[in-house]
Every structure is written in structure tokens, then in C-alpha cells.
Amino acid sequence: MTTPAEIGLVIVGDEILSGKRADKHLPKVIELLNARGLQLAWADYVGDSPARITATLKRAFDSGALVFSCGGIGATPDDHTRQCAAAALGAKLKLHPQAEMLIRERMQDVAREQGVPYEPDRPDNIHRLNMGVFPEGAVLIPNPYNKIPGFSVRDVHFVPGFPVMAWPMIEWVLDTRYQHLFRRGAYVERSVIVFGSMEATLTPLMEEVERDHPGVRVFSLPSVDHPEYGRHIDLGVKGEPAPVGPAYEQLVAGLKALGAKLGPELVR
């Protein structure tokens, strides 16, 4: 049972970087992880350049992280993710037998819905089988929307770019393979609104709190035009409940010692 060091996200597609489509995966993956007490450590956006995709995926495989890669696993000329995953691994591409079966089932379903005969040897149907060509050793991720699977290699998981398919597939991976990582109710954030202070002035206190409470992270979120608080800093600590309590108390005591003007406290 693997215990990845962190969780990452790769989003593939020129359409995201050009602005033709707005990315919806990042906020949704954060939501899915937070619901399970997990946090995203990093996210990479990469266009449809095979060299860049290969380099990005190689970093993902080498990182030891749990990584979700969204997009580019279709069979059109601008879909490179399957091939790049194989290149990053130094592995051969191979038609996965179970994926072939599922893709053929899908083609039969479509033919039946359209009221036409299923022709397995028709060129376009043969081409569709490329969607099941994965790096050797890949494990399938079921697709509840149209049966066309994604795939996993080690802790890197590849799903389509379409949210209606990608999101339930990501949930399936999390709930099937990584329940041992879930920390529901075991992560909290406590912060306080600080008025009239500069981050540079507060930095020594922040460093002191992190040093005195290993495993707790201090965060500082300045704002200049908040509709309710105006110019302020949302200053707090996050981590497991037990150490967060005393770390927060030390932070507030330090702020008071500095003469900081404090607003409401926030718990997340």
C-alpha cells in the first residue's frame, strides 16, 4: 500500500493556456481532496507539446507523489498524453485487452442507439481502439459516463479532460486506492484578521510559531480591498487539531505583544 509524499495535478491542453476554455479541474480537485481531509501540494498546466508533456510527466513519476493528469488521452492528433506517459516511463505502448473490450462495448452501444449495425472492422472503429493503448503495466480507471477507461501507472492517474468523466473517475481512484490517506476531521485552520500591520513585521513571529510547533504551518493572506475588512492580513495556522490549538494561542499572544489590532477569528 503506497503512501505518496504529496498530491499533485497536471492539466493538459492548449485550450486552457489559450483561454478558449476555463479550467474547472483545479477547484474541483481541491474540493474532492478537502472532503477527504487531503490537500493539493502543486499543479502544473502544460499545452499540447509532446516534449513538455513528457518532461512534466517524468517529473510526476519521479516525484513519488499521488498525481492526477487530466486531458489528452483521446485518439485525435492533438492528444499526446498516453504516448508521453510511455516515453516518460521508458515503456512500450500496448492495447490493453480489458480496455479493448470496453471500447468495443461502447461502439456496440452507440451503433444500437443509432439503429445501425456494428461494424468492428470499419476504419473509424479500429481507430477508436487507440484510446485503449496505454503504457505496458497500466491499470484501468473505470469511466461511468461512456465506458472508455482512463489508466494508472503506479501513483499517477490519467483521466479525460471532460469534467463529467474526469471527476467521478478521480473520486473512484481516491476512494478505491487511497482511503488509508483520508483524514476527515483531522485538519483545521485557525486565523485572525490583523489590521494595520506589515507582513515583514510579523515574519519573525510566524517563524517562531512554526519552529516551536513542528507539523503546523503558518499562513499569511494579505488583502488591500476586502469588501468587509478593507486592508488587512488573514494570519493563521493550519494542521492537525492537537498542535494547532497551542500554536494559534502562541500566535495571538505574539500579535498582542506587538500591539497589533485584531479583528474576528476564523476557523475552517
Give mean pLDDT, residues 58-63.
97
CATH code, domain with 238: 3.30.70.2860
Question: Mind giving me the DSSP string for 6-19?
Answer: -EEEEEE-HHHHHT
Domain boundary among 120, 155, 181: 181
User: What's the half-sphere exposure (Cβ side, CA atoms, 13 Å) at 70?
Assistant: 25
- Flag whether 2 is in a domain: no
Residue with cell 473520486: 171
**Domain final position from 158, 181, 204:** 181
Residues 79, 159: one domain? yes
* pLDDT score, position 1: 65
Instruction: Rank 33-42, 141-150, 226-235 by mean pLDDT and report only the highest.
Output: 141-150
Asked if 176 and 65 sit in the same domain, the reply is: yes
The pLDDT value recorded for residue 185 is 64
Q: What is the pLDDT of residues 156-169, one digit of tens each?
A: 999 999 999 999 99
User: Are residues 168 and 123 both part of a single domain?
Assistant: yes
Q: Find the mean pLDDT for residues 15-30.
A: 96
Q: Cβ(63)–Cβ(10) under 8 Å?
A: no
Same domain, 193 and 102: no
pTM score: 0.84
Averaging pLDDT over each range in 31-35, 66-70, 229-233, which range is the top one? 66-70
* Mean pLDDT calculated for residue range 15-23: 94
Of 197, 146, 160, 178, nearest to 33 (Cα)? 178
pLDDT score, position 155: 97
Which of the four pLDDT bands, split at 50, 70 and 90, describes residue 184?
A: low
**Structural domain span for residue 196:** 188-267
Q: What is the pLDDT of residues 190-212, one digit of tens each?
A: 999 999 999 999 999 999 999 99
Taking only the tens place, the pLDDT of each residue in 76-96 is: 999 999 999 999 999 999 999
Residue 227's pLDDT band (boundaries 50, 70, 90)? confident
21 and 152 fall within a common domain: yes
As a whole-number percent, the residues of the chain with pLDDT over 90 amount to: 88
Check residue 246 and give its pLDDT: 96
In a domain, 1, yes or no: no
For residue 141, what pLDDT is reported? 98
Are 115 and 235 within one domain? no
| pLDDT given at position 37 | 87
Q: Are residues 213 and 84 part of one domain?
A: no
Q: Counting Cβ atoms within 10 Å, is residue 2 exposed (0-12), middle (13-18) or buried (19+)?
A: exposed
Count of domains forming the chain: 2
